[in-house]
Each structure stands twice: as C-alpha cells, then as structure tokens.
Amino acid sequence: MAVLSIEDKENQELSRRYKELLRISYQTLSKADKQLIREAFNLAVDAHRDQRRKSGEPYVYHPIAVAKIVASEIGMDATSIAAALLHDVVEDTAVTLSDIERMFGKTVAIIVDGLTKISHLSKEKEISTQAENFRKMLLTLNEDIRVIIIKIADRLHNMQTMESMPPEKQVKIASETLYIYAPLAHRIGLYNIKNELEDLGLKYTEPEVYYDIYDKIEETKEERTAYIEDFKNIIKTALDKEDLKYVIKGRHKSIYSIRKKMLGNVSFDEIYDKFAIRIIYESDRKSEKFYAWKIYSIVTDYFRPNPIRLRDWISSPKSTGYEALHITVVGPKGKWVEVQIRSQRMDEIAEKGYAAHYKYKNGEETEIGIETWLKRLQETLENPSGNAVDFVEEFKLNLYAKEIFVFTPKGDLKSLPKGATPLDFAFSIHTNIGLTTRGARVNGKLVPLNHELKSGDQLEIITSPSQKPNANWLDYVITARARSKIKNALKEDNKNIAERGKELLDRKLRHLKIKMDEKVVNELVMFFKLKTSFDLFYRVGIGIIENQKLKDFAAQKSNSFINYFKNKIRKSQSEAVDTTKEEVSSNYDLIVFGKNEEKLNYKVANCCNPIPGDEVFGFVTVSEGIKVHKKDCPNAISMQSNYSYRVIQAKWIDSSQREFKATITITGIDNIGLVNDVTKVISSNMHVNMQSVSFESDNGLFNGKVIVIVRNNTILKRLIEKLKKINGIDKVQRI
Ligand code: MN
C-alpha cells in the first residue's frame, strides 16, 4: 500500500477542491472560462504556497472557499471567480498588480486592486477611522460592484472560520459584519448570505442569546416538519389537479431576526411567523403571474387569508429585485402562517440576487431595480458631503429603508424609502428639479414639502427657477441623495456669502485703519469666539457682526498693555485655527423658548450648568425669572413632575442660522412691470425667501404686501433699501 506524504495528500485535496469549484458553478462555464479559472487557481496555489491559516490548513483553502461562494451561492461569472481566487495574492504575497494585469487582463486586475485597497483599510487600528474606512470601501463601488460582492463572500468565509481567532478579534470582526456587511448584502439582494452573516454576527457578539434561540429552534424542529406536512397534505390534491409542477418547503426565520422580534418584548413562543411556507412552482415567463394567483386562490380556498397581510411583490418588485406573492393565512391547528408563492426564476433571484438577474435579463430593456439603485448610489458617492460617520449612517439607513411606491404624473412607478417626502421625490427625478422645487401636488392637492408620501400617491412637482434650497430642507428629506445635494447647494450659498463678507470686512477694517492680514483675521476669529476664518467672513456677510463690535475690536487692539498679555495666550491658540475650512461651524450662542422659538431673558441654573449645545429646558421661577436646566439635571424629574406647568421648552440655537418672518408693505404708483420689478428684487436678493406676495391696484395706486423670511435685520434693511430704489415706489415699510 502506498503511503502518501502530507504534501501529496494536500495536492490531492487541492485537485478535489478545484473540480468541485467548477462543478458547483451556477453559471455555465465556457472553455475559455475554465482556462481563466485554472490559471488563477494555479497562481493562487503557487503564491500562497508557504502560508497557513490560523487553523493550520494551507492558506489557499481560503481563497478557494471564497471562490466557491462566489461561483455557487452568489452565482457570479468566471472573471469574478478568478478574482476571488486571487483576492489575497497582491496583499499577502510577492505577486504584483501588474503581474495580474499581464496574466489576466485589466478587469481582473481592477477588481483585485479594489479588494487589496479594502484589505489595507481594514488593517487600520483606530476606531475613529473606521467610518472613514467604510466610506472609502463604499467608494470602490464606483469601480466595480464585483469588488463589494467578492468582499462580502470573503467576509462570509472569514466569519464561518473564526473559531481559532482570539475572542476580542472575533467580536470586532462580528460587529463590523453586523454594522456594514450584512446591510450591504441585503441591499444587493443576497438574502441568504445576509441571514448567515447576521446569525454568525450574533453568535460572536452575544453567544448566550444566539445559542438559546438556536436550541429552541432545534427543539421545535419535529413539530415544524409535521406542521408543514399537514399543510402540504391539505392542498396537495387541489394543486395536482391543476397540473402544476411545484415543491413546498418550510423555512424558519433567521436567529437574528427572531432575536430582533424578541427585543420588542415578545417571547419565543409568541412569535407566530417563526417560519414561512414556500411554494415554488415551474412556469414559463409569460404565465408566471397567472400561476402565482392561481396558487393563491387554491391556498385561500383551504385557509382563510388575513387581508391586510397580502404583499404583491410580483406586480411591483422590490428595488432589490425581489419578486414573490406573500400571504398570511390561518393554517392547520388555527395558527397563522406566512405563505410565499414564487416561480423558480423568482426563487433564484431571491437566493442569488444580482447574478440571477443577469441570467434572466437576456437583453430585456427593463432596468432592474438594483441597477437604478447602483446608479443613484454612485451619484451620491461622487460628491460625498459631511463627515464620514454621517455618511455611513445615512448610507445604512438607505440600505434598510422599507419602500413605498409612488407615481409620476405620467404614471411611471418610482420607488422611494418609507417616510420620503415630495422633496425626496423631486431630487430622485433630477437634481435641478429638486433644487428649484417650490411646491408639490399629491393626488391633485397642494401639500407642504415635508408631507410624508404613501404608496400609490401620484405626485406633481411645481418648480420655479428663482427657488433655492434653505437649511430647513434638510429636515424635510430622508434620502441620502437629496441631503447631499441640498448640503452642497447650501455650502455653495454660504461660500458666496463668505466671499462677499471678506470684501466687506476688508473695507470696514480699512475705515478703522486696520490692514486685514492673516494675523488680524486670526485675532478677529478669537475675538468673536469663532472657529474658523470662514465663520468670520460668513457672519460679516450676513450682517450679524455689527460695526460697533468691530470698533470694540479696534479699540482693544490699540490698548497695548492688554495686548501684551493677550498675545501670549493667543499665540498658542491661533495655531489651532484652521483657516481653510469652508463650512460654517455651528456656534450655539442663544437659547430660545417655546414652540415659536422666542428670545426671552434667562439665567443658567447652577445645579447643572448647561453649556451651549446641551439639551435643555426652561423653568419659570418666582423670584428669578426663567432658569435653564439640562434635560438630565438631577432635579429635572422632580421639577417636571411637580411643576409641569412651569416647564417651558428651550433649545440652544446658532443665531447666525436663525430665520425670522417679516411683513413689508409697499405703496407706489401703478405702472407696467412694477410687480415684476418688486418680485425680481426680492428673489434675486440672496438669503431672502419669499413666503407670500399679494398686490392690488386701485385707481393707479399700487399696494403690495410681502412676507419674507430672512436671517437678520441687516439683510431686511438692505432689502428695504433696494425696494425703495425701484422706479415708482413711494413707501416701503416693515410692519
Ligand atoms: Mn480574504
């Protein structure tokens, strides 16, 4: 009997794994495909020859396993399989990217490059840079979606083989998986992989919870199998009579989702939809829908359906591409059970997502939801705004958001996340439509821009070229796309204000015989307790830094005795001033009260000493007026419960961002074009929003009333001055 050396055994094992990889491929592989995979396989084996995994097995087993997931579970093409085999080669061995490009061509090289970049990122240790890393990772979506898909497969295999890792590493990797990889897998339509990632994530982050549920599922297995048998037996004859080819399966919910339900204070036994029954039928493309409803009708002949739990994802598929008919019925033994009806094609799409779409797309012109989503995502990624944490959070929200479906005026269907508003809709159609939205009609009725849309609504957006986004809009939208577009527009607006402010400041300082240079600017930033020079220019631009304050600054500057000391302090501080930032930093400097955000006199309470930005409330005292406490002040509960009538809403605001309403009356001699001139002056005046206008003319006299929204008095005064200059205007007054 020949004795095999360890090396021989491993070689034998490698060739077995290679054959299996080809055999389980979801897509049919051509000769050229097999050639490509063979070469990638050989290079991977060769390059990783001397490496072992923590478990002791040859390292190359890992890329092979990832390639298997890519080939079979996700069902990707040969290029992806090759790239998966090579995904760790550049990172961990002497093989270079140009070697890969030379041997396998540009596409494989681009994908491997993307994967190498991500793997560099994940080696960063700082937690604070984690979000930034995720953002960079998402940016690789711009290159090739296959990068992310292979990365998800890589992560899945790492999660499956994490036993031999130190516990703190396990927890870190598992949390990362729950934070970003599972949501991504969900969005790409890889439901099975998402479930597995979540379950494994729970297993390592909360093992007791995981095993507790796992055991309970095991215990109820027999009961469940029997239940599904009962269900089958009842409808079998009726289905068979229709000459349908079908299978009926039961599938329990993932451990992770059962746990999520239990967090809502439901016990394991109380969760009625722990498992669903799936009826998967054969059909050609044309008759799919017809059969689905036929099966529906048979099922509901025997089991009473719950009318509010019917989901028709066949007529309008989810934007992940998911299609099926879901109903909940009173099943055997009077128990509620969800029944999912899908054709074989729909089932493949549900299991494999993206890849299955391609298989069935066959040059059809209809765009699948996932492609629209990717296109939209890429646009958002192209101009990322805000900090990395916000970005990733918003992105994640979009991943999990439930969807609604609304109609355009022409009757086209659009999907939006639940909670979306007409503004979200406008931005989803086109950036320019979003930016110039003036109003919206839902089902023919005018609605406010923050109106929450419902499935089935028909929308019409009213635009006006003079309309501009304002800061409130950020509260009206929920989609990342709209947010980032609005933020960019506001930033642009603020930049213009700051630029004008800079010129204005230069002029004002010259008046005071001060030359504006970097040093003076830094001194002014300190003097007004701001963060950046941009903040300073911006505040001059919108007019909340008054001339008197600048005079105070000049006076203080000329006092050399004080200067001597102040300079010493300032020196160390001014180094911290970043003069390049082009964003207004929020500077909470004022507390306002009540729903109308009124300015009132107040004192800060000694017991909790709230500082700007804290969550606060006002408490009306008998002798000392309003006192402001922190919401988590130790005395808060007793004040709120015993003297609730004395509690008054309060919040810190940034007074430079505050807006108020003003009514202006205009009188003059009525002549042609006057109304036009007035509205032109108002709408072309930066930072003034017109809320309503009414004009009437009476025997050649003209009376107008305009309500505007402005940030401060300076802007209002400037506007009034401009209106007065219009030919024919007699009087302009604020009332
Ligand atoms: Mn890997």
Q: Where are the domains of the chain?
A: 14-213, 216-359, 487-578, 586-657, 660-734
Mean pLDDT of 294-307: 91
Structure tokens at 329: 């019925």
DSSP line for 303-336 = S-EEEEEEEETTTS--TT----EEEEEE-GGG-E
Task: Report the pLDDT value the prediction gives residue 390, as an integer from 0 to 100.
Answer: 60
Going from the Cα of 47 to the center of ligand 1, the distance in angstroms, rounded, reads 14
Going from the Cα of 398 to the center of ligand 1, the distance in angstroms, rounded, reads 27
Active-site hit among 92, 99, 312, 452 = 92
Look up residue 269 and give its DSSP letter.
Answer: G
Going from the Cα of 42 to the center of ligand 1, the distance in angstroms, rounded, reads 17
Going from the Cα of 146 to the center of ligand 1, the distance in angstroms, rounded, reads 15
Q: What is the pLDDT of residues 448-476, one digit of tens each?
A: 888 999 877 888 999 888 788 888 888 88
Mean pLDDT of 73-84: 90
Task: Report the pLDDT value the prediction gives residue 69, as an integer from 0 to 100.
Answer: 94
Fold annotation for 216-359:
Beta Polymerase; domain 2 (3.30.460)
CA distances, 356 to each of 20, 31, 186, 190, 551 (Å): 21, 21, 15, 10, 71
Going from the Cα of 216 to the center of ligand 1, the distance in angstroms, rounded, reads 33
Contacts of 100 (CB under 8 A, 6+ apart): 86, 89, 90, 108, 109, 112
Tell me: pLDDT of 128 over 50.
Answer: no
Count Cα atoms within 13 angstroms, Cβ side, for 685.
24
Q: Is 677 a catalytic residue?
A: no
Using CA atoms, how far apart are residues 344 and 327, in angstroms rounded to an integer?
A: 18
Going from the Cα of 88 to the center of ligand 1, the distance in angstroms, rounded, reads 5
For 691, phi then psi, to 5°, come to -100, -40
Going from the Cα of 61 to the center of ligand 1, the distance in angstroms, rounded, reads 10
Going from the Cα of 350 to the center of ligand 1, the distance in angstroms, rounded, reads 26
Mean pLDDT of 113-142: 63
Task: Report the pLDDT value the prediction gives residue 109, as an integer from 0 to 100.
Answer: 92
Instruction: Using DSSP bridges, classify how beta strands 413-417 and 602-604 pair: parallel, antiparallel or unpaired.
Output: unpaired
Task: Report the pLDDT value the prediction gives residue 44, as an integer from 0 to 100.
Answer: 95
Going from the Cα of 87 to the center of ligand 1, the distance in angstroms, rounded, reads 6
Tell me: pLDDT of 142 over 80.
Answer: no
Angle at 731 between CA 725 and CA 733, to 5 degrees: 105
Going from the Cα of 158 to the center of ligand 1, the distance in angstroms, rounded, reads 7
Going from the Cα of 48 to the center of ligand 1, the distance in angstroms, rounded, reads 12
Task: Report the pLDDT value the prediction gives residue 365, as an integer from 0 to 100.
Answer: 41
Structure tokens at 583: 């964003």
pLDDT tier for residue 168 given thresholds of 50, 70 and 90: confident
Going from the Cα of 624 to the center of ligand 1, the distance in angstroms, rounded, reads 66
Residue 371's H or E segment, with its range, is: helix 369-382
Q: What is the pLDDT of residues 203-220, one digit of tens each?
A: 998 899 999 999 999 888
Angle at 543 between CA 540 and CA 549, to 5 degrees: 70
Structure tokens at 39: 């070469």
Q: Is 240 a catalytic residue?
A: no
pLDDT tier for residue 378 given thresholds of 50, 70 and 90: low
Mean pLDDT of 307-324: 83
pLDDT tier for residue 127 given thresholds of 50, 70 and 90: very low
Mean pLDDT of 311-333: 86
For 124, phi then psi, to 5°, come to -60, 135
Using CA atoms, how far apart are residues 196 and 400, in angstroms rounded to an integer?
A: 17
Going from the Cα of 62 to the center of ligand 1, the distance in angstroms, rounded, reads 7
Asked if residues 154 and 184 have their Cβ atoms less than 8 Å apart, the reply is no
- Report how far Cα 563 is from the mean position of its chain's Cα atoms: 49
Q: For the ranges 111-125, 229-243, 719-733, which has the lowest average pLDDT? A: 111-125
Active-site hit among 39, 91, 132, 460 = 91
Residues in the chain: 735
Q: What is the pLDDT of residues 494-553, one digit of tens each?
A: 888 899 999 999 999 998 888 888 888 888 888 888 888 888 998 888 888 888 888 888
Tell me: pLDDT of 367 over 60.
Answer: no
Structure tokens at 55: 């478990």
Going from the Cα of 35 to the center of ligand 1, the distance in angstroms, rounded, reads 23
For residue 727, give the nearest of 691, 678, 662 by alpha carbon: 678
In the CATH hierarchy, which top-level class contains the domain 660-734?
alpha beta
pLDDT tier for residue 9 given thresholds of 50, 70 and 90: confident
Q: For the ranges 77-86, 529-538, 693-702, which has the lowest average pLDDT? A: 693-702
SS (H, E, C) 633-691: CCCHHHHHHHCHHHEEEEEEECHHHCCEEEEEEEEEECCCCHHHHHHHHHHHCCCCEEE
Asked if residues 491 and 435 have their Cβ atoms less than 8 Å apart, the reply is no
Using CA atoms, how far apart are residues 341 and 218, in angstroms rounded to an integer?
A: 26
pTM for the whole thing? 0.59
pLDDT tier for residue 20 given thresholds of 50, 70 and 90: very high
Using CA atoms, how far apart are residues 335 and 231, in angstroms rounded to an integer?
A: 11
Contacts of 270 (CB under 8 A, 6+ apart): none
DSSP line for 181-235 = IHHHHHHTT-HHHHHHHHHHHHHHHSHHHHHHHHHHHHHTHHHHHHHHHHHHHHH
Using CA atoms, how far apart are residues 423 and 474, in angstroms rounded to an integer?
A: 10
In the CATH hierarchy, which top-level class contains the domain 14-213?
mainly alpha
Average pLDDT over the chain reads: 82
Using CA atoms, how far apart are residues 373 and 401, in angstroms rounded to an integer?
A: 13
Going from the Cα of 253 to the center of ligand 1, the distance in angstroms, rounded, reads 29
Mean pLDDT of 628-634: 84
Task: Report the pLDDT value the prediction gives residue 242, as an integer from 0 to 100.
Answer: 85
Tell me: pLDDT of 15 over 90.
Answer: yes
- Report how far Cα 19 is from the mean position of its chain's Cα atoms: 42
Tell me: pLDDT of 125 over 70.
Answer: no
Using CA atoms, how far apart are residues 354 and 374, in angstroms rounded to an integer?
A: 11
Q: What is the pLDDT of residues 106-115, one digit of tens each?
A: 989 988 988 8
